[in-house]
Structure 1
Amino acid sequence: MTIGHGGKRSGAGRKKGSGAFGEATKVVRIPESQVDTVKQWLDNYKQNLSDASLQQLDALSGMVEEAEQLLPLYSHKVIAGFPSPADDFVEARLDLNEKLAPNRHSSFLLKVQGDSMRDAGIFDGDILVVDRSQSPQSGKIVIAALDGELTVKRLAIRQDGTFLLPENPDYPEIKVSEENDMVIWGVVTSCIHQF
């Protein structure tokens, strides 16, 4: 007689997004001696996100969800050199939500202030699409709350530490120390720039 153990059972487990933070979770291995420290940090993090901040994030996420407008995508490519007559037929209808924020329930918008990310093509007044579900990895542009101040920078995780890097030589790189309180709000996936 064989008894099957293990594996995913249909309908078992917690439903996606039903946790305390309303988003998908990830299993990580933590040294047993640090479990209480991590739990306490998560409790503090949750308390520091005031109701107003959560409402603001929800409202911004709602803005992405509500803009269900399909726009025509023409099959002819635009040439940046000499002009060519455009084809008159539409290849498809493009949903900007699908293109800019495929993970709608975990995405929100932020407006940029300042020019520290100028060389990455992010300018003052641009609107950033930020995805909370993406893992903040070295090399990604992220929205970080550093000691209570929001900033957009490129994340660099190196042997000599964790850094938030500007994309403008007029600004210094920021080394994140253990004394700093840093929370990554999400990964920047798109930038909306108007002329």
Structure 2
Amino acid sequence: MNTKNSKSELDIFKVDTSSSVELPFVEEGIRAGFPSPAQDYLDLSIDLNHELVKHPSTTFYGRVKGDSLLEADIHDGDLLIIDKSLEPRNGDLAVCCVDGEFTLKYIQIEQDAVWLIPANKEFQPIKVTAGNEFIIWGIVTYSIKKHRNTRR
């Protein structure tokens, strides 16, 4: 098995919540099992800015570059919502800066180190110690992925 220790890159974008886009919303949920009778109309709407962005001044979007989280179903090109105001907890998916390079990994916090854990057997965990320049830049709160097949 070829193991890697490279870091995933991330394109970062500022969140703009100055506008509101109200989209129809099916409050009862959408069944993934047997179909339910179709509704002729939808009387509720949802604003994704309000639903997904709890702290607009500290929230950013990021686009995943790399494949170190494939087993967590996070793929190259997926869009992330990242909140810089959240206190990191064990198991969080975090955008971290290690020695000047951004990476996206799960964090495991120990007394004398932080481990950055990939979700791809091709990548090795990264041990961060006091000798590294390190910050947890933000915590991923949501991931958005494209599901439509783009075959022509």
Give the match for residue 101 of structure 1. 53
TM-score by length of 2: 0.81
Match of 1:184 among 130, 136, 141: 136
Aligned residues: 137
5 Å-filtered alignment, 1:69-148, equals 69-148=21-100
Alpha-carbon separation, structure 2, partners of 1:131 and 1:100: 10
Q: Where in structure 2 are there 5+ consecutive unaligned residues? A: 1-10, 148-152
Residue 16 of structure 2 corresponds to residue 64 of structure 1:
yes
Whether the 8 Å contact between 2:69 and 2:118 is mirrored in structure 1 is yes
1:164 aligned residue (116, 123, 131): 116
- Return the structure number with greater strand share: 2
**Which structure has the greater CA radius of gyration?**
1
**Paired residues of 2:112 and 2:129 also in contact (CA < 8 A):** no
Contact 1:142–1:184 (CA<8 Å) still a contact in 2?
Answer: yes
Instruction: Calculate the aligned-residue CA RMSD, in Å.
Output: 1.9
Larger RCO: 1 or 2 (CA < 8 Å, sep 6+): 2
Shift of 1:169: 1.6
Q: 2-side partners of 1:128 and 1:116: how far apart? A: 15
User: What is the CA deviation profile of residues 92-122 of structure 1, one whole-angstrom value per residue up to 9, with x for unaligned ones?
Assistant: 2111011111111110011101111122221
Q: Which amino acid aligns with 2:48?
A: L
SS of corresponding position for 2:24: strand
Structure 1 residue runs of 4 or more that deviate by more than 4 Å after TM superposition? none
Q: Tell me how far apart the structure 2 counterparts of residues 178 and 100 of structure 1 sit (CA, whole Å).
A: 34
Tell me the TM-score normalized by structure 1: 0.64
Task: Could you tell me which runs of 5 or more consecutive residues in structure 1 were left unpaired when the two chains were aligned.
Answer: 1-55
| Mapped contact 1:75–1:87 kept (Cα < 8 A) | no
Measured in 1, the distance between the counterparts of 2:75 and 2:143 equals 9
Percent of counterpart pairs with the same letter? 36
User: Contact conserved, 1:100 with 1:190, CA < 8 A, in 2?
Assistant: yes
User: What SS does the aligned partner of 1:151 have?
Assistant: strand
CA distance, structure 2, for counterparts of residue 133 and residue 114 of structure 1: 25
Name the structure where helix makes up a greater proportion of residues.
Answer: 1
Cα pair distance change 1:152/1:84, threshold 3 Å: same
